[in-house]
Chains A and B, each alone.
Chain A
Amino acid sequence: MSNVYHPDLAQLQKNVCNCPLLLSYAILDFCSISIDLFKRPICSVLHWYPPSNQTSSQAEEALLSHLKNIGASVKQSQWWMDCEQFTALPNLSALSGRSFQVIHTSENESLSFAITEQTNVLVSERSFDTILTKMSDCYQPNKLTRIEAKGKKFEIGDFSIKVGSVSLGPNFKCLVMEVEYKPSSYTKDTLPLLHEFLSIVCSNLVPVPENLNQITTPTNSTFYQLSDTILQYKRVFDECRRVNPNLAMN
């Protein structure tokens, strides 16, 4: 991970840990610069809700058996992801209404991803979290909106697939599937291939979007980046927070 940009955290902590307000501005400044420079395998994140006559585990099981039928092999390890929302304390008028989300994932355990509402992603080392604890005077995590996703990993040919369920606190929200084509990270030309594979994998169990243009940001459409995956998950999590929790209860 030598390519990861990470601020000189020790120096930063030393200088600003006694001034939480300054620190919070520093974080937001970092968030406004997208520093993710990786070329990553192209990947699409889909989410869906179980049909009304099925529970979430039945819907998940239906997809898993379909995956086995088309030749996918299960990998031993599982995957997980969590997303915490940090909001500014109401007594700080300078930061009123500001918030950002922090995502951790089993696939990149040494990294933390912070996303502002402007959809800029800051990729930093995990020690970024120690800064967050220093910021408790101005930004605090919202325990009620903590989202978790976890599930199984599969492999099929050059593709890798992750299937899991998303829950907000104790409540099940939706099912999520990530399909990654490992050989390519060039977005423009690989989209037709990925779309064709999605229609094979999803069958009629998961709705497939008409096109996959939304998997990257328009400003960065040449190479797929790690931040693009994080942003796709963020959109799913945002929808989960908006959706009526009674819509699809387990």
Chain B
Amino acid sequence: MDNSNICSVEKLTETIKLVENLRATVYVVFDELVGGKTINDGIKDHRTINDKEKGKKMVANLHLNLQNGVNKALNMLESSMSSLGRYPLSALPHNPGFHLLSLETTDSAGQELYETLHNDYMHVYKICDNSGLMFKSLTRNMKIPNTQDIEPISQTNIYHTIKAPRSHLESFVANMNQRFGSSGGSQVLKLNLMKTSSGNMLKAIVGTVLKANIMMQGLLVDRVVVHSFNEETTNENIWPPSKFIVFNRLTEIANSAALYYGSSSKFFFWLSYYQNLYSQPCKSCGKILMDENNRDRYLPPVRRDFVHQDMVYHLSCYQSNDEL
């Protein structure tokens, strides 16, 4: 350890002592305040001019304590901190608290405290991470007013609710059909609302490529099964998987898309990009059919990117692209 380090450690211990000093002066201030209050409580029924004088005296004491004690200690601490300079960030493992504590590792009590505090920090980090995740998933399902982090509540966001009545779903379907119908030419996406024993179901038809049975929870997509345009499913049994490998893969992707997109309208917008499933080559390898000997052999590019929907990939090309 070189001289500058030793110097900075000495300054640090000095600063810590000054912090303790500051705490002591603040303690005195609060102690007197609490004491003054109890005196006031005890004699509140017999207020005299004397009491008023006592009160004045107490306020004067408070001023004195604050100015001479606290302010002085604070000024000393500030000057000591400025001489300490900025502590190098690279030296801090996670939090400054760690490092300052580690200065006292010789003390066995300090060691114990260090470990307990370390565990506490880890726990807090974990809670922060988890609460972040929870916040993300909860904001998809709930409208939280006056929160800046979620997107502003627009016309489409009235659909973000899990307990919406069926009439909302009906207007949503009409809205979507109108939106996709007016884009000119043949209708890319067509939605039909049906009632099944387990709730409301949407039948989506994308071009002449696929049909999707979509179970809805309010206005949110709950579960999706994708079939070929030619496959027939009965209303009694809508969940059997497709006979074709390509649509079984697509079912997996559509379910993860439903989780990714909070709003149903975005999900259907994404689904409509499958109208060119058989004709659009993969952006990565340039071919329509995967020709390598892997899980996706002889499948068209079944992956549409969730952000850039016009970027189409084979599953394996998408994964290898991701690694790059």
Contacts and interface: CB of A to CB of B under 8 A. Distances in A.
A189 B289 contact: no
Given A39-B230, A71-B293, A196-B289, A184 B209 contact: yes
Interface string A178-193: 0000111110011011
A200 B299 CA distance: 13
Contact of B288 (A41, A156, A183, A192): A192
B256 to A, nearest CB: 21
Contacts of A185: 229-230
B288 A193 contact: yes
Contacts of A79: none
B230 A192 contact: no
B238 interface: no
- The number of chain B residues touching the other chain, given as a range, is 20 to 34
B229 A193 contact: no
Nearest to B245: A158
Interface string A78-116: 000000000000000000000000000000000000000
B294 to A, nearest CB: 11
A157 B289 CA distance: 11
A158 B298 contact: yes
Contact of A157 (B276, B278, B288, B299): B299
A197 interface: yes
B262 interface: no
Given A197-B298, A200-B289, A200-B291, A192 B278 contact: yes
Contacts of A71: 293, 297-298
Nearest to B228: A183
B279 A157 contact: no
A186 B124 CA distance: 57
Given A71-B297, A189-B209, A157 B228 contact: no
B276 A193 contact: no
A125 B149 CA distance: 66
Interface string A24-43: 00000000000000010100
B26 interface: no
A159 interface: yes
Interface in B10-29: none
A156 B290 CA distance: 13
A94 B82 CA distance: 117
Question: Among B207, B209, B299, which residue has the most Cβ atoms of chain A within 10 A?
Answer: B209
- The number of chain A residues touching the other chain, given as a range, is 20 to 34
Interface string A152-183: 00001111000000000000000000000011
A158 B208 contact: no
Contacts of B87: none
Interface string A185-220: 110011011001100100000000000000000000
Contacts of A159: 298
A201 to B, nearest CB: 10
Contacts of A190: 278-279
B221 to A, nearest CB: 23
Contacts of B283: none
Contact of B298 (A39, A41, A156, A189): A156
Interface string B216-234: 0000000000001110000
Contacts of A184: 209, 228-230, 278
A183 B246 contact: yes
Question: Among A159, A184, A186, which residue has the most Cβ atoms of chain B within 10 A?
Answer: A184
Interface in B229-243: 229-230, 243
A196 B287 contact: yes
A193 B243 CA distance: 19
Contacts of A192: 278-279, 288
Nearest to B244: A183
B247 interface: yes
A235 B36 CA distance: 111
Contacts of A157: 245, 297-299
Contacts of A39: 230
B98 to A, nearest CB: 56
A161 to B, nearest CB: 11
A223 B243 CA distance: 20
A158 B244 CA distance: 6
A222 B207 CA distance: 12
A208 to B, nearest CB: 14
Nearest to B289: A196
A68 B5 CA distance: 73
Contact of A183 (B247, B279, B287): B247
B277 to A, nearest CB: 8
14 contacts: A39-B230, A71-B298, A156-B298, A157-B298, A158-B246, A183-B228, A186-B207, A186-B209, A189-B209, A189-B276, A189-B279, A190-B278, A192-B279, A200-B291
Interface of A: 39, 41, 71, 156-159, 182-186, 189-190, 192-193, 196-197, 200, 222-223
Top 4 closest A-B pairs, CB basis? A157-B298, A186-B208, A183-B244, A183-B228
Given A186-B208, A189-B207, 10 more contacts: A41-B230, A156-B298, A157-B298, A158-B298, A184-B230, A186-B278, A189-B208, A189-B276, A189-B278, A193-B288
